[in-house]
Structure 1
Amino acid sequence: MELIFWWMPLVALALAVAGALVYREWRRRTRDGGGRSGTPVAHSERLTELPEYRRILRRYRALLAGLLVVVVVAAGSGVLLASRVSSVDVVEPQSYKRDIMLCLDVSGSMTDVDAKIADTFATLAGDLHGERIGLTIFDSSAVTVFPLTDDYGYVKTELTKYRDSFRSQGNDGLRYWTGTDLGSGASLIGDGLGSCVLGFDGDKSSTRPKSIVLATDNYVNGSPLLTLKQAAALATKRNVRVYAIDPVDYSSDTATNSVALDLKNEALSTGGGFYALSSHDAVPSIVQKIDAQEAGLFTGSKTLVISDHPVPLAITLMLLVMAVLALLWRVRL
């Protein structure tokens, strides 16, 4: 705690001392001048010696002393209130100005996972603040479903449409694969990832954190323009982290283990991560881990925060004023 206007108590103290000195001088001059107010009364000592009179006088003086103490404390509280009792902290707020591109392999083996990812981000869209979300899907060619946007209502609507289409294998609503089958081959991972990287606006000096959630099993069928390694290098050059989600069980197949290891190494080379699914139900928890990892990497600029705390002093001052009024009424001043 500290005082914003630290000089106010000093000024108040100086004024109090000056006032006390002036009062003392006035009292001295009045006493030396012999001036007395009131009307002389003969034999008043008979009255002042009475026990009842003495009792009333003691109570009167006690009330005056109490009134003086309360007035001093109230004045002190008022000075502190005017001085702004505050706490000063340096905070590093979490930055929510992130760009997240969903990069989904829509080949037949991936639709269940894609549906889970779309559903999870559709649910999360209502709680986002400042992030931009984009969606790119690919098979033999890539399609930008919607670019990076913070229109969360639109994001939720589009992701819900694609979730339903993934779940129904394209039989319900739109055909999710439209535009992704224009090339030669299937699951061209390098081309798909490269398209997702190029979906971010700004150059590598942009201060917005950029990340890609890549869902693929890394089974390439065809000759892509970019290999996975080249696409990962492009992501690294543009400061984009890749978080790969792989649904295939590699526990009993050495060949597929090698495919997974390639995907893992390239994702990690960008500063991102790799997640192998034990079940499709694990997608929401993986998305939460990715979000937590991203949030932990970036904080806002250090900010000096000054918080006033007037309430305790204001309540104290109000109670003291009420006490002053009660004492004034009691002593009949």
Structure 2
Amino acid sequence: MIFWWVSALLLLAAIAVWAIAFWNRRAMRRSPVLVANSRFMDRIPSFVRAQRTTRVVRAAQVGIAVLGVLAAAVLSGRIATERIETPEFASRDIVLCLDVSGSMYEYDTEILATFAELVDTFEGERVALSIFNSTSRTVFPLTNDYDLIKRELEAGAEAIDFDEFGYRLGSRDYSDDKVRQYVEFVDGTRGIADEASIVPDGLASCGQVFDQAEQDRSRSIIFATDNEVNGEPIFTLQEATEAIAEREIDLYTFYPGPYECGPQCFEELRGATEDQDGELYESSDPEAIPSIIHQIQKSQAETLGATPTVIRTDHPGPAFALTAVALVGILLLGWRAR
């Protein structure tokens, strides 16, 4: 809008200069000043040069004025380029939901580190991290601040790289800083004494991390647990997965393998996940996480139905510069011709 007004002013200025020059020329033709005995002046070299210079200056004024008018017209026309973008990633929310009980430390470390490497490939997704043991803690809420996300995930991977059992038994030696880092990370996940890995309640808590319920957004939970429950949960695992499904949250469960419970815990986890159309990945390799992310992006890109958007970018620079140069040229030639 600013360039439109600038071009209009420059156009008026150019027209005004051209009109004044044209009017002065007509006026000189209509009302010549007669001077006696001045015919010899046509033979004076300095007078001839002055006349020639005047004609050149006037021609240049007209030429530059025309150039300025054309440049101003181009500027007013708003030369622009267009491109089509499909914001298919902008409405995607992912909650990383990790069981941080002792049997999951090794896998959590690798999952967090792997996920931190994937952050650089994100284009608009919002990510949150929630961890649980006997109680839950949200490490950071849904955000697309990728510097924060990567920093927190890398810090979490370093903090949870800790063998608590070996530390307690005295078979592993850790510095005070390492112990403090670990304690601060898992703080808030041990709210109930003598209980651990309350998986159904942890999953239900992860479902509460999602905000903007009224908006049409794609929502997913990457749920990592071995389902080794030691305590009395409020929800059953089936109730927790049903609550997730009712909110139209896609569930991707990562099962690293049995610890003590064995096939019974796995079958319960698989049944509860697949009954709600979720997907279970049975793998001791945390590198399965990239395939989970790929599956989320692939399936949800189809369901989101993102509308292509036309992005228009103005390019006023060349026309504006040419118009400004033309105006300066007109003013300088006008001063010279006076």
Regarding TM over 0.5, the answer is: yes
Give the structure 2 partner of residue 85 of structure 1. Answer: 78
How far did residue 215 of structure 1 move?
A: 0.7
Q: Secondary structure at the match of 2:214?
A: coil
| Cα distance in structure 2, aligned partners of 1:322 and 1:205 | 56
Q: Partner letter of residue 221 of structure 2? A: I
| Cα distance in structure 1, aligned partners of 2:117 and 2:81 | 38
How far did residue 97 of structure 1 move?
A: 7.3
Percent identity for Structure 1 against Structure 2:
23
Give the structure 2 partner of residue 196 of structure 1. Answer: 206
Residue 251 (structure 2) pairs with residue 242 (structure 1): yes
Q: Partner letter of residue 96 of structure 2? A: L
| Cα distance in structure 1, aligned partners of 2:216 and 2:79 | 33
| Cα distance in structure 1, aligned partners of 2:54 and 2:144 | 73
**Does structure 2 conserve the Cα–Cα contact (< 8 Å) formed by 1:92 and 1:303?**
yes
Q: Secondary structure at the match of 2:32?
A: coil
| Cα distance in structure 2, aligned partners of 1:30 and 1:54 | 19
1:209-248 map, 5 Å:
209-218=218-227, 226-248=235-257
**Does structure 2 conserve the Cα–Cα contact (< 8 Å) formed by 1:98 and 1:210?**
yes
Residue 178 (structure 2) pairs with residue 169 (structure 1): no
Q: Secondary structure at the match of 2:250?
A: strand
How far did residue 278 of structure 1 move?
A: 6.5
**Does structure 1 conserve the Cα–Cα contact (< 8 Å) formed by 2:95 and 2:142?**
no
Give the structure 1 partner of residue 35 of structure 2. Answer: 39
How far did residue 214 of structure 1 move?
A: 0.6
Can you list the C-alpha shifts for 1:192-224, whole angstroms capped at 9, x where unaligned? 32232234456x535565432211245678886
How far did residue 64 of structure 1 move?
A: 3.3
**Does structure 2 conserve the Cα–Cα contact (< 8 Å) formed by 1:101 and 1:136?**
no
Runs of 5+ consecutive residues of structure 2 not aligned to the other structure: 168-178
Give the structure 2 partner of residue 114 of structure 1. Answer: 108
After superposition, the Cα gap between the structure-2 partners of 1:231 and 1:248, relative to the gap in structure 1 and judged at 3 Å, is same
**Does structure 2 conserve the Cα–Cα contact (< 8 Å) formed by 1:112 and 1:280?**
no
**Does structure 2 conserve the Cα–Cα contact (< 8 Å) formed by 1:86 and 1:306?**
no
Q: Partner letter of residue 309 of structure 1? A: H
**Does structure 2 conserve the Cα–Cα contact (< 8 Å) formed by 1:228 and 1:266?**
no
Give the structure 2 partner of residue 136 of structure 1. Answer: 131
**Does structure 1 conserve the Cα–Cα contact (< 8 Å) formed by 2:78 and 2:316?**
yes
| Cα distance in structure 2, aligned partners of 1:181 and 1:293 | 42
**Does structure 2 conserve the Cα–Cα contact (< 8 Å) formed by 1:84 and 1:309?**
no
Q: Partner letter of residue 192 of structure 1? A: G
**Does structure 2 conserve the Cα–Cα contact (< 8 Å) formed by 1:218 and 1:263?**
no
After superposition, the Cα gap between the structure-2 partners of 1:130 and 1:43, relative to the gap in structure 1 and judged at 3 Å, is same
| Cα distance in structure 2, aligned partners of 1:305 and 1:227 | 49
**Does structure 1 conserve the Cα–Cα contact (< 8 Å) formed by 2:124 and 2:144?**
no
Q: Secondary structure at the match of 1:193?
A: helix
Q: 151, 175, 178: which one pairs with 2:190? A: 178
Q: 285, 305, 309: which one pairs with 2:315? A: 309
How far did residue 234 of structure 1 move?
A: 1.2
Q: 266, 279, 285: which one pairs with 1:279? A: 285
Q: Secondary structure at the match of 1:194?
A: helix
**Does structure 1 conserve the Cα–Cα contact (< 8 Å) formed by 2:114 and 2:286?**
no
1:121-160 map, 5 Å:
131=126, 133-138=128-133, 141-146=134-139, 148=141
After superposition, the Cα gap between the structure-2 partners of 1:130 and 1:293, relative to the gap in structure 1 and judged at 3 Å, is closer
**Does structure 1 conserve the Cα–Cα contact (< 8 Å) formed by 2:198 and 2:232?**
yes
Q: Secondary structure at the match of 2:163?
A: coil
| Cα distance in structure 1, aligned partners of 2:55 and 2:216 | 71
Q: Partner letter of residue 253 of structure 2? A: A
**Structure number with higher relative contact order (C-alpha < 8 Å, ≥ 6 residues apart):** 2
TM-score by length of 2: 0.60
| Cα distance in structure 1, aligned partners of 2:207 and 2:102 | 23
| Cα distance in structure 1, aligned partners of 2:337 and 2:237 | 92
Q: Secondary structure at the match of 1:115?
A: helix
| Cα distance in structure 2, aligned partners of 1:46 and 1:117 | 95
Q: 41, 47, 64: which one pairs with 1:70? A: 64
**Does structure 2 conserve the Cα–Cα contact (< 8 Å) formed by 1:191 and 1:225?**
yes
